[in-house]
């Protein structure tokens, strides 16, 4: 039987999301890909520093053991194949069992997400993220300068999600932007028992839920809903998750308060939001990625 990724949680990630290649990227931006390739080859024996999504990837891979390979991480990068050598060597240096990768030398790599059956795509390139979302793959633009996750919870993958336009559709957000907060609250209170349609990250939350249910003796997943909603609009969000038969461990209904400091206390390995303002606030405290979907991202 040939190799298969069926039944696994598949994370496709760019080299800049996994490792800190910002110095090398500046060379590319200021010169050309030849100078970039030369620099990467010169540094091929030098492990790259961990990037913004490194902690989440390392912890997810810890769900694998000899008897069950539950998670697959694949490099999906605009890097060239020569630079790809350094990516794989850096992964080996940190003990990350990453074996697969596609390096496209500047061409959009998102088209390989479908054969990978990816549950998540992380990239520093907004155009690739938008294309992935259009193809139905949960995707986010990482903020490479985000604060990195600490080592406080070594046996727990902590992931935080915004609600509207991320876990849920942007149906309610459209009401808010068109008619204001009062209309939004009335709309959501009147539809409290009607589940919201799923948003672009519902499939990832479902995949994480399945991974958690499989369970391992040494790793678990802790999720949080971090939303600008407040009562009475909270009820529809909770009932939607109940309708999906998915539990989140924490829910923060912040009523428009700045999310960054709350996320700092939750200490996620990654946070996903559709609004750049929230991501910029979060990135000062935790690893963060922009979900370029919904009415806030025309």
Contacts of residue 151, defined as CB under 8 A and 6 or more positions apart, other chains included, come to none
- Active-site residue, selected from the candidate residues 20, 80, 128, 162: 162
Kind of pairing between the strands at 19-20 and 220-227: unpaired
Q: Is the dihedral of CA 197, 281, 129, 207 positive or negative?
A: negative
Paired strand residues for 12: 74, 121
Query: Is residue 162 annotated as part of the catalytic site, yes or no?
Result: yes
- Count of CB atoms situated within 10 Å of the CB of 166: 27
Contacts of residue 269, defined as CB under 8 A and 6 or more positions apart, other chains included, come to 55, 56, 59, 149, 157, 158, 159, 287
Q: Which residue carries 């939004």 as its tokens?
A: 184
- Cα(270)–Cα(263) distance, integer angstroms: 10
For 276, phi then psi, to 5°, come to -60, -30
For residue 86, give Cα distances in angstroms to 45, 65, 213, 224, 269. Answer: 7, 26, 35, 35, 24
Q: Could you tell me if 14 and 76 are in contact, meaning their C-beta atoms sit under 8 angstroms apart?
A: yes
Contacts of residue 49, defined as CB under 8 A and 6 or more positions apart, other chains included, come to 19, 20
Active-site residue set: 162
């Amino acid at each position: 039987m040939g190799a298969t990724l069926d039944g696994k949680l598949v994370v496709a990630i760019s080299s800049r999301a996994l490792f800190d290649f910002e110095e090398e990227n500046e060379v590319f931006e200021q010169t050309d890909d030849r100078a970039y390739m030369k620099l990467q080859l010169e540094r091929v024996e030098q492990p790259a520093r961990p990037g913004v999504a490194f902690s989440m990837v390392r912890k997810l891979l810890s769900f694998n053991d000899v008897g069950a390979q539950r998670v697959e991480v694949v490099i999906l990068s605009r890097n060239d194949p020569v630079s790809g050598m350094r990516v794989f060597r850096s992964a080996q240096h940190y003990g990350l069992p990453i074996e697969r990768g596609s390096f496209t030398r500047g061409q959009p790599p998102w088209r390989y997400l479908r054969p990978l059956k990816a549950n998540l795509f992380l990239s520093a390139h907004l155009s690739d993220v938008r294309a992935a979302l259009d193809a139905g793959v949960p995707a986010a633009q990482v903020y490479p300068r985000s604060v990195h996750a600490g080592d406080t919870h070594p046996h727990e993958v902590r992931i935080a999600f915004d609600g509207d336009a991320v876990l849920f559709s942007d149906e309610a957000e459209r009401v808010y932007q068109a008619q204001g907060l009062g209309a939004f609250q009335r709309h959501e209170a009147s539809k409290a028992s009607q589940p919201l349609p799923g948003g672009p990250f519902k499939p990832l939350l479902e995949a994480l839920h399945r991974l958690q249910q499989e369970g391992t003796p040494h790793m678990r997943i802790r999720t949080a809903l971090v939303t600008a909603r407040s009562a009475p609009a909270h009820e529809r969000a909770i009932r939607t998750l109940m309708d999906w038969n998915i539990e989140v461990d924490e829910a923060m209904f912040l009523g428009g308060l700045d999310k960054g400091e709350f996320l700092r206390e939750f200490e996620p390995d990654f946070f996903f939001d559709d609004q750049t303002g929230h991501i910029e606030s979060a990135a000062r405290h935790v690893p963060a990625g922009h979900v370029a979907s919904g009415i806030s991202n025309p």
